[in-house]
A and B are shown apart, each in its own frame.
Chain A
């Protein structure tokens, strides 16, 4: 069974930094691209960033480009999102999502339960 477990969320002040992690199990992590998708409380879904199977290619939403960095460690079956220069509008649940294959543009067959990031002074 595919399992994705996010961690690292919390309360941070505007301008601060936070690192999210996603622990993957139940599948061969290195065979799949991975993405982060966020959802502000009571709002819709927004794709944040994605990375291909070996970390050689990554993409970002314009809203986070230059502030967030996605990375992965295939040896540890883990995905990360380094977030800096955080803004109030970054407040959201952040989901780790696995697409159908090794590349980034895909639908998301599996999702974690999400971790909440709150940016507030």
Chain B
């Protein structure tokens, strides 16, 4: 099974600052990597797919990079609505499709 490891578990950031979230795969997933945002009481929302392509309607302050086993989600200038939990997911190898454990971005 492909194991996805996210770090850090919690990231404390001030509004307007940059946030950098990491996701590591136990084996190469090429660019078959997606990022999701989830707020309390809501379903996840797709942010990024193909490691670096923003989904429809996602602001340009969200960017994804990486390939193989190392990936990064960057939020260039955190807005109040960006405080949430972020998950990465690989869709290169299945079953199963696998998610990382999540990174909670909280207000500093």
Q: Is the CB of A104 within 8 A of B43?
A: no
CB of A110 to closest CB in B, whole Å:
8
Residues of B within 8 A of A99 (CB): 91
Residues of A within 8 A of B32 (CB): 105
Q: Is the CB of B94 within 8 A of A59?
A: yes
Residues of B within 8 A of A114 (CB): 43
Residues of A within 8 A of B101 (CB): 44
Q: Give the secondary structure class of B's interface.
A: loop
Given that A95-B43, A111-B43 are known contacts, is A105 also in contact with B91, CB under 8 Å in the complex? yes
Q: Which residue of A lies closest to B96 (CB)?
A: A61
Q: How many chain B residues have a CB neighbour from A under 8 Å?
A: 26
CB of B20 to closest CB in A, whole Å:
20
From the candidates A44, A62, A100, A113, name the one contacting B43 in the complex (CB within 8 A): A113
Q: Which residue of B lies closest to A111 (CB)?
A: B43
Q: How many chain A residues have a CB neighbour from B under 8 Å?
A: 23
Residues of B within 8 A of A44 (CB): 87, 99-102
Q: Which residue of B lies closest to A35 (CB)?
A: B97
Residues of B within 8 A of A111 (CB): 43-45
CB of B34 to closest CB in A, whole Å:
4
Residues of A within 8 A of B52 (CB): none
Within 8 A of B (CB), among A48-93: 50, 59-62
Q: Is the CB of A60 within 8 A of B95?
A: yes
Residues of B within 8 A of A50 (CB): 94-95, 97
CA distance A17 to B13 in the complex (A): 44
**Residues of B with Cβ closer than 8 Å to A?**
1, 32, 34, 36, 38, 42-46, 49, 55, 87, 89, 91-102
